[in-house]
Amino acid sequence: MNGASAAAVICDPPYNLPARAIGGRGKRQHPDFAFAAGEMHCAQFREFLSQTLSNGIAVSTESTLHFIFMDWRHIGDLIKVGDELYDEMLNLAVWVKSNAVRTGLR
């Protein structure tokens, strides 16, 4: 970022699950991520999250908002790591996505 500070951080790190466990029940089957695709133990995944989130923190100011997306199966890991890295965690938004079909788009 050449010394610039981020106004917002939006991060969707891998969920430490194989791709087949997080979607793609239709014709398209996506390949697994290169890492954090289910091979990490809890401590390894938390360290991965810590390093990932720390990258965003490094380019942030005190007022930068961080939006971090996580699958429900690892939200506890994200909250644990977040408690260690951030001074405050203000909100948790839950998106109930019953299916992956986009409606209303043509």
Could you tell me the sign of the dihedral formed by the alpha carbons of 34, 92, 77, 80, in that order? positive
**φ/ψ bin of 16: left (φ > 0), alpha (ψ from -120 to 50), beta (otherwise):** left
Mean pLDDT, rounded, of the chain: 81
- 22 Cβ contact partners less than 8 Å away, ≥ 6 residues apart: 15, 71
Q: What is the pTM of this model?
A: 0.73
Check pLDDT > 90 for residue 4: yes
Bigger pLDDT: 53 vs 104: 53
Q: Around Cβ 46, how many Cβ atoms within 10 Å?
A: 19
Check pLDDT > 90 for residue 1: no
DSSP 84: H
